[in-house]
């Protein structure tokens, strides 16, 4: 229902959204082995430095 115009013919009643019910025995998604969630802090920092270096190379090559 439209809050601003309650008797508008174009307003539709709100439908309840079903919520998923997950118990302790329900399967959970396992992150892949290369996931950042499984990386150590040192590995995350090394990956960030590597990505940053690649982006700087692209910028410097574009400015040539």
**pLDDT score recorded for residue 44:** 93
Mean pLDDT, the chain cut into blocks of 10 residues (64 residues total):
58 68 70 81 95 98 95
**pLDDT score recorded for residue 32:** 80
Q: Which residues contact 11 (CB under 8 A, 6 or more apart)?
A: 1, 2, 5
**pLDDT score recorded for residue 30:** 78
**pLDDT score recorded for residue 23:** 65
Q: What is the helix, strand, coil percentage profile of the chain, to 5?
A: 40, 0, 60
**pLDDT score recorded for residue 53:** 98
Helix locations, 1-64, DSSP H: 41-63
DSSP 8-class letter at 37: G
pTM metric for this prediction: 0.50
């Amino acid at each position: 229902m439209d809050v601003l115009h309650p008797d508008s013919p174009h307003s539709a009643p709100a439908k309840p959204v079903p919520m998923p019910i997950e118990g302790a025995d329900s399967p959970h998604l396992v992150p892949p082995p290369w996931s950042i969630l499984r990386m150590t802090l040192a590995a995350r920092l090394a990956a960030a430095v590597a990505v940053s270096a690649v982006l700087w190379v692209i910028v410097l090559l574009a400015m040539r």
